[in-house]
């Protein structure tokens, strides 16, 4: 599956952004989808994930209550709505796809990153 992320940009503290990730090439509805982020000098971490059915989601503690992951299987797209953004949310954000039974592991397919910068 090929993944194309978009929607990053520069926003002030407290602002919002919505990231999108369009999938092509294989049946999108078969994959769990996740959003990862990587700040300079840090590891790439999973921040949100959603099951293929959309019924189960996962959020890291750092974004819980501020970010919302969703998907539209008819449009082959997964979204990450980011609200109440903080400077520490600044990172390159990546979408990824997993065929694992667990939504927080097994991510084998990756999109290119999209930069999110939150100014203080």
> How is the chain classified by DSSP, letter by letter?
-EEEEE--EEEETT--EEEEEEEESS-GGGSEEEEEEE-TTS--EEEEEE-TTSS-EEE-TTTTTTEEEEEETTTTEEEEEE-S--GGG-EEEEEEEE-SSSTTS-EEEEPPPEEEEEE-
> What's the average model confidence in pLDDT over 89-97?
98
Most confident range (mean pLDDT) of 21-30, 31-40, 98-107 is 31-40
Task: Please check the confidence at residue 26 and state whether its pLDDT lies above 80.
Answer: no
């Amino acid at each position: 599956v090929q993944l194309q992320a978009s929607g990053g940009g520069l926003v002030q503290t407290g602002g919002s952004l919505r990231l999108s990730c369009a999938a092509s090439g294989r049946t999108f509805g078969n994959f769990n989808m996740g959003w990862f982020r990587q700040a300079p000098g840090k590891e790439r971490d999973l921040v949100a994930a959603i099951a293929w059915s959309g019924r189960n989601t996962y959020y890291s503690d750092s974004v819980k209550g501020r970010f919302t992951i969703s998907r539209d299987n008819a449009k082959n797209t997964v979204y990450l709505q980011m609200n109440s953004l903080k400077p520490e949310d600044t990172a390159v954000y990546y979408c990824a796809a997993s065929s694992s039974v667990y939504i927080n592991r097994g991510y084998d397919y990756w999109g290119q990153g999209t930069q999110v910068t939150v100014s203080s």
